[in-house]
Every structure is written in structure tokens, then in C-alpha cells.
Amino acid sequence: MITLSQIRSAATVIAPHVVRTPLLPFGSGWLKPENLQPIGAFKLRGALNALARLENREKGVVAYSSGNHAQAVAFAARLHGVPAAIVMPDNTPPVKIEATKALGAEVFIVGITERVERAEALVAERGATLIPPFDHPDVIAGQGTIGLEILEDLPDVEAVVVPMSGGGLISGVATAIKSLRPDVRVIGAEPELAADIADSLKAGALVRWDPLKRAQTVADALRDEPSALTWAHIGKLVDDVITVSEDEILGAVADLARRARLIAEPSGAVAVAAQAKLGGAGVAVVSGGNVDPGLLARLLAT
């Protein structure tokens, strides 16, 4: 289990390079707009913490991701002068491949089933270090800095709503909050179509869903599942889960644009959709903003 002191240490390390996002009033609650980070997602916090603590820097890092983790590792590696190799599946939108290359990373495009194998091969060939998207204490501690900031800015907060997928974000945030304020409720948010953690919490043990089933949600950054490490945090620290429909997710994207002037990707709006079902109270983490412009245009035009 990660500790409060690991999160406090991460906060010091990443502070010069992340946006200190404010809490934005939103109805009767608040938003924590992590979509405003330089790469458009909270993932930068964990990647920066992991890169800052990296040993064997000259041999570089490897990551596999089609999404925000790819850009987060590329950004953090460039900042620390560390070579980065990113393995991306061949169905990744070209704009995300270009953005990762623009951050100076070496990009390898492979079939979706080959990405772990290729990443492990790169690690072996180069003696490089794999930076996982959530299954690592430094990554979790970096994401946990969001929890510290929420408590600093809103000491009387009652509930924090956090999207869940691999579980790195909520593991970190829940550790920060429960360590300092066990009375604050930490609520996970999941798409109904990828509600494996809701099932797991009901069962009291990690329940696996078929990856093809989880892949159906429009919240494409929430199709992962917890590791043993993140499940250990979630099972112990998360008070409740709220699941949301695809329509509720897209409605929250439109609502954020119209009422908060924020652009969120569907995954980034899942906690906001859950917050609405909670009556609007508490702090919802807007976790990312890398939406397809065409999708946003269609949502705004209706």
C-alpha cells in the first residue's frame, strides 16, 4: 500500500511541472479540471513522479498505451532528458501518434495483441525501464497529489468522485484523502458497460470482465481493469461506486462544455455524470480532455 508520505513527496517533485488546477464551482458541487494539464489529462502527475525517481536514466523508458499515458510518459521523459519508446496499437488515432512523436518519443506501431510483448522486448533489448499506466507505486503516488490539493482548497469537502479503470487515480486520491480525513467519502465512477469494479466491490473480491465487453463503452480510457495493487487500495478505501449510462456520459461532456466552458473526453466526464446522480454535491475529477473534435461538435450542435 502506498503512504501519505509518498504522495506528499510526489507533490513536491511534480509541482514545478504540473498545473495547480483550481476547484471550479459547478452547480452545488465542484470540479477538479485535470483536463487542463499540459497533455490534457491527470496522467502527467504519475508519469512525472515515476520519471523523477527513475534509476538507470540513460537506458530510457518504455510504455505501451494508445491514450493519455503515452503522451504523459513522453512529456515527462523529455523533461527529464530520458529517451522514451512508446508502443501504440495500430488502431490509435493518427493525431495521438503525432502528438506523442512531437513530444520527442520514439513510437512503435504494432497490432493490438502484440503491444505488451513488444514493450517487454524493448525493455529486454535496451535495459530500459517499463513505466506502467497504473500498476506502480510512484505512478499511484503521483495521481494521489490530486487528493491533497482538493483537501487544501476545500477543507470541508464531503465527497470526492473519481473515475475508475485500472484504478491508479482512485488508489492515489483515496489514500491521500482517507489518510487525512477518513470522514470524507471517496466514490468511484464507472460506465455501466465497464462496471467490473462495481461488481468486485459487491463480491468483495476482484471480478474480471471480458475485455471485449469492457471495450464497448464510449469512455475509451476506462476500458482497463485493476491490478492486484490497485484493487488492494480500492477494496479497502473506496466507499461506494456509481455507474453511469452512455447517454449520461455524453450528456456530461455537453454539460461541461456549456456550463463550465471545459472540454472533456467521455472518460473525463464520467465522474461528472456520477456527481449529477449524487445530486450535484462533492468534487468530481474531470480526468481528461482529449476528445475527438467531431464528437464534441456533434454534441454541441444538438
Active site residues: 43, 287
Instruction: HSE, CB side, 13 Å, CA atoms: give it for residue 295.
Output: 15
Is residue 40 a contact residue for its own copies (CB under 8 A)?
yes
From residue 212 to residue 251, what is the string marking binding to its own copies with x (rule CB under 8 A)?
Answer: ----------------------------------------
Is residue 156 a contact residue for its own copies (CB under 8 A)?
no
Residue 50 near residue 82, CB atoms below 8 Å: no
**Looking at 109-117, 161-169, 196-204, 260-268, which segment touches its own copies (CB under 8 A)?**
260-268
Is residue 187 a contact residue for its own copies (CB under 8 A)?
no
CB count in 10 Å sphere of residue 40? 23
Candidates 262, 269, 274, 276; binder of its own copies (CB under 8 A) is 262
Element (H, E) at 77: helix 68-80
> Which of 228, 261 has the CB closer to its own copies?
261
**Looking at 15-23, 123-131, 136-144, 166-174, which segment touches its own copies (CB under 8 A)?**
15-23
Is residue 260 a contact residue for its own copies (CB under 8 A)?
yes
Is residue 257 a contact residue for its own copies (CB under 8 A)?
yes
- Closest distance of CB 25 from its own copies, Å: 5
Is residue 294 a contact residue for its own copies (CB under 8 A)?
yes
CB count in 10 Å sphere of residue 247? 10
Q: How big is the site for its own copies, counted in residues (CB under 8 A)? A: 28
> Which of 22, 127 has the CB closer to its own copies?
22
Candidates 202, 208, 213, 298; binder of its own copies (CB under 8 A) is 298
Nearest Cα residue to 161 out of 259, 35, 279: 279
Element (H, E) at 242: strand 240-244
Candidates 1, 25, 205, 236; binder of its own copies (CB under 8 A) is 25
Beta-carbon contacts of 166 under 8 Å, excluding residues fewer than 6 positions away, are: 133, 134, 135, 224, 225, 226, 227, 230
Torsions phi, psi for 6 (to 5 deg) = -65, -35
- Closest distance of CB 152 from its own copies, Å: 12
Is residue 154 a contact residue for its own copies (CB under 8 A)?
no
Q: Rounded to whole angstroms, how far apart are CA atoms 28 and 280? A: 6
Is residue 68 a contact residue for its own copies (CB under 8 A)?
no
Nearest Cα residue to 84 out of 126, 53, 34, 116: 126
Candidates 4, 8, 24, 130; binder of its own copies (CB under 8 A) is 24
Torsion sign over Cα 137, 143, 147, 149: positive
DSSP label at 301?
H
Residue 145 near residue 124, CB atoms below 8 Å: no
Q: Rounded to whole angstroms, how far apart are CA atoms 278 and 26? A: 13
Q: Rounded to whole angstroms, how far apart are CA atoms 104 and 190? A: 33
Residue 290 near residue 67, CB atoms below 8 Å: yes
**Looking at 86-94, 199-207, 238-246, 288-296, which segment touches its own copies (CB under 8 A)?**
288-296
**Looking at 169-177, 192-200, 216-224, 285-293, which segment touches its own copies (CB under 8 A)?**
285-293
- Closest distance of CB 73 from its own copies, Å: 18
Which residues here bind its own copies, judged by CB under 8 A?
Answer: 19-25, 33, 35-36, 38, 40, 257-258, 260-264, 289-290, 293-294, 296-298, 300-301
